[in-house]
């Protein structure tokens, strides 16, 4: 019979299971578990073993909500601990590395103990069981509903792309124009030539990115990255733990007529190619990356708009030759519009047929197991992290255990957690 996690009847079964289990070599953690069905509980964990009450001399005292405690200590989802800590859902007094050390309390016998605990423990929710990815997806859908984005996520599901107007995202023309001017300044600074806005001749026949890796150049880009509507749409496709892989600006001027037999200047492709997913194997059915592009100028067919092939994301492969061009749909929208599409969706762009420039600022976000294309995790400063919400640190890869040197992953993650705790305390002052 399954019992409520940490209830007295649950402990009766746990005592029977643990009496013949091997002694644990892991650290002792005192837990203060809040918001549970039986109220606040004070228990301790010794490696994988549970006991009532707190112990003197424990490595740390950890305060955390019931559902997160269930995920970590019953389901064994230790990777959930660091994102929850960074988000302020877990408070730790004592050794910050102690929580990570629990994951090393392993071996066949202890794994068997964890499996037995899982079989006698009720799911964290009182209704239909929602754990792991299911619970995370429920949270994402709640955020989508809060922001009124349901119709746009349906467009993502059916067509593979969606365009969010300024009226939806609250984006102002004034802000977008400030972003565009800062972009033009940076291109002039880096290249020595200011783009010719009137004629576009400075970028004739250009369709590849004109600006890379600019996030840390101005706080206006940090503010744009944290737009809650864009993040909600990105999270819908690749989860709340997604990271920023690259930031680019695509700027094109007038183009000569194509000579390749294609009507497009930038041929149809899927962004999976940019992350080196293998061919000819099928691409993942779950999207691994998302492009969130803010239009800095109006997009029309004559402006050289981005085009999409609706439904192409279901094919899970790259197009062959000119395949799909007969079904392209130009994305025509005014500046300030947000375009979102997943990494399986075929897209390209038309040549610009009139003077001037077309600009789009793109964020490429991916699931954290994909190596980022630009080194945000290594270059972001503590000052930048401190002035932004915790989600910014997640986007910078601060909660994902990569990037250590000789100190190893645990020391690195403990240092990041300590820095995150200082930032959290500073924000609350």
| Same domain, residue pair 38 and 182 | no
Tens of pLDDT, residue by residue over 267-312, are: 999 998 776 676 666 778 789 999 999 999 999 999 999 999 999 9
Domain assignment present for residue 231? The answer is yes
The fraction of the chain above a pLDDT of 90, given in percent, is 58
pLDDT of residue 127: 39
Cα–Cα dist 386/371, whole Å: 24
- Of 341, 366, 391, the residue that ends a domain is 366
Domain assignment present for residue 137? The answer is no
Q: Which two tokens stand for residue 254?
A: 């007038």
How many DSSP H helices and E strands does the chain contain? 15, 15
Domain assignment present for residue 32? The answer is yes
pLDDT of residue 128: 39
Q: How many CB atoms lie within 10 A of CB 232?
A: 21
Q: Which two tokens stand for residue 141?
A: 């859908």
pLDDT of residue 129: 41
| Same domain, residue pair 119 and 79 | yes
**Containing domain of residue 412, as a range?**
376-427
- Of 109, 131, 153, the residue that ends a domain is 131
Tens of pLDDT, residue by residue over 203-238, are: 999 988 899 999 999 999 999 999 999 999 999 999
pLDDT of residue 273: 79
| Same domain, residue pair 213 and 315 | yes
Domain containing residue 356: CATH number: 2.60.120.620
| Same domain, residue pair 357 and 381 | no
Q: What is the mean pLDDT of residues 21-28?
A: 70
Q: Which residue has the higher pLDDT, 88 or 126?
A: 88
Cα–Cα dist 28/405, whole Å: 27
Q: What is the mean pLDDT of residues 104-117?
A: 62
| Same domain, residue pair 238 and 354 | yes
Tokens 């990815």 identify what position? 133
Domain assignment present for residue 388? The answer is yes
Q: Which residue has the higher pLDDT, 407 or 54?
A: 54
Enclosing H/E stretch for 113: helix 108-119
Using CA atoms, how far residue 385 sits from 125, 173, 376, 381, 396, in Å, is 33, 27, 11, 6, 9
Q: Which two tokens stand for residue 212?
A: 């890379």
Percentages helix, strand, coil for the chain (3-state, rounded to 5) are 40, 20, 40
Q: Which residue has the higher pLDDT, 191 or 419?
A: 191
3-state secondary structure of 76: coil
Tens of pLDDT, residue by residue over 25-67, are: 677 889 999 988 888 999 998 876 889 999 998 988 999 999 8
Listing DSSP states for 186-236 in one string gives: HHHHHHSS---TTT-GGGTT--SEEEES-GGG-HHHHHHHT-HHHHHHHHH
| Same domain, residue pair 270 and 419 | no
| Same domain, residue pair 181 and 328 | yes
pLDDT of residue 109: 55
- Of 99, 131, 163, the residue that ends a domain is 131
Tens of pLDDT, residue by residue over 329-368, are: 999 999 999 999 999 999 999 999 999 999 999 999 999 9
Q: Which two tokens stand for residue 341?
A: 């599409």
Domain containing residue 13: CATH number: 3.30.1050.10
Domain assignment present for residue 127? The answer is yes
Residues 30 and 44 sit within 8 Å (Cβ to Cβ): yes
Letter string b/e over residues 335-365, b meaning 16 or more CB atoms within 10 A of that residue's CB: bbbbbbbbbbbbbbbbbbeeebbbbbbbbbb
Work out the burial of residue 127: count CB atoms within 10 Å of its CB; fewer than 13 is exposed, 13-18 middle, 19 or more buried.
exposed
Domain assignment present for residue 371? The answer is no
Phi, psi dihedrals of residue 338, rounded to the nearest 5°: -105, 125
| Same domain, residue pair 120 and 225 | no
| Same domain, residue pair 281 and 301 | yes
Cα–Cα dist 361/293, whole Å: 5
Tokens 């996520």 identify what position? 153
Q: Which two tokens stand for residue 253?
A: 């001027």
pLDDT of residue 130: 42
Phi, psi dihedrals of residue 281, rounded to the nearest 5°: -65, 150
Cα–Cα dist 148/145, whole Å: 5
Residues 70 and 31 sit within 8 Å (Cβ to Cβ): no
3-state secondary structure of 250: strand
Adjacent-strand bridge partners of 32: 42, 63
Tens of pLDDT, residue by residue over 416-427, are: 877 877 887 777
Local confidence band at 125 (pLDDT 50, 70, 90 cut-offs): low
| Same domain, residue pair 171 and 279 | yes
Q: Is the dihedral of CA 157, 158, 163, 165 positive or negative?
A: negative
3-state secondary structure of 315: coil
Candidates 7, 1, 14, 54; CA nearest to 32 is 54
Tokens 């993040």 identify what position? 231
Tokens 């102002």 identify what position? 172
Domain assignment present for residue 136? The answer is no
Specify the DSSP class assigned to residue 312: G
| Same domain, residue pair 258 and 388 | no
Q: Which residue has the higher pLDDT, 415 or 365?
A: 365
| Same domain, residue pair 380 and 362 | no
Give the number of domains in the chain.
3
Between CA 104 and CA 111, with CA 106 as vertex, the angle to 5 degrees is 140
Candidates 25, 108, 37; CA nearest to 70 is 37
Residues 241 and 137 sit within 8 Å (Cβ to Cβ): no
Between CA 361 and CA 308, with CA 229 as vertex, the angle to 5 degrees is 55
Domain assignment present for residue 3? The answer is no
């Amino acid at each position: 019979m399954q019992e409520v996690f940490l209830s007295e009847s649950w402990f009766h079964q746990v005592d029977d299971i643990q009496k013949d289990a091997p002694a644990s070599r892991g650290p002792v953690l005192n837990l203060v578990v809040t918001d549970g069905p039986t109220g606040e509980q004070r228990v301790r964990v010794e490696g994988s073993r549970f006991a009532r009450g707190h112990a003197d001399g424990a490595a740390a005292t950890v305060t955390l909500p019931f559902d997160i405690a269930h995920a970590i200590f019953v389901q064994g989802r230790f990777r959930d601990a660091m994102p929850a800590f960074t988000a302020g859902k877990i408070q730790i007094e004592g050794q910050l590395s102690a929580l990570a050390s629990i994951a090393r309390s392993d071996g066949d016998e202890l794994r068997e103990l964890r499996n037995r605990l899982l079989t006698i423990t009720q799911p964290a929710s009182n209704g239909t069981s929602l754990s792991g990815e299911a619970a995370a997806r429920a949270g994402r859908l709640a955020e989508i509903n809060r922001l009124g984005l349901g119709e746009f996520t349906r467009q993502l599901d059916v067509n593979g792309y969606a365009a969010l107007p300024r009226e939806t995202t609250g984006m102002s023309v004034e802000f977008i124009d400030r972003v565009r001017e800062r972009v033009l300044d940076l291109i002039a600074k880096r290249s020595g030539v200011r783009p010719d806005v009137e004629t576009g001749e400075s970028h004739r026949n250009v369709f590849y990115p004109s600006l890379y890796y600019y996030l840390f150049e101005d706080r206006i880009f940090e503010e744009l990255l944290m737009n809650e509507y864009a993040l909600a749409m990105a999270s819908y496709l690749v989860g709340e733990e997604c990271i920023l892989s690259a930031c680019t600006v695509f700027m094109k001027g007038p183009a000569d007529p194509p000579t390749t037999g294609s009507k497009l200047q930038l041929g149809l492709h899927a962004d999976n190619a940019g992350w080196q997913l293998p061919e000819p194997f099928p691409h993942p059915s779950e999207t691994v990356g998302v492009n969130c592009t803010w239009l800095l100028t109006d997009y029309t067919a004559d402006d050289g708009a981005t085009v999409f092939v609706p439904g192409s994301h279901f094919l899970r492969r790259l197009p062959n030759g000119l395949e799909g061009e007969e079904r392209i749909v130009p994305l025509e929208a005014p500046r300030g519009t947000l375009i979102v599409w997943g990494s399986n969706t075929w897209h390209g762009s038309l040549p610009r047929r009139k003077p001037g420039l077309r600009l789009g600022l793109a964020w490429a976000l991916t699931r954290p197991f994909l190596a980022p294309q630009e080194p945000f995790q290594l270059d972001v400063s503590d000052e930048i992290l401190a002035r932004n919400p915790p989600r910014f640190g997640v986007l910078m890869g601060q909660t994902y255990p990569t990037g250590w040197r000789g100190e190893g992953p645990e020391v690195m993650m403990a240092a990041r957690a300590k820095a995150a705790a200082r930032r959290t305390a500073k924000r609350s002052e």
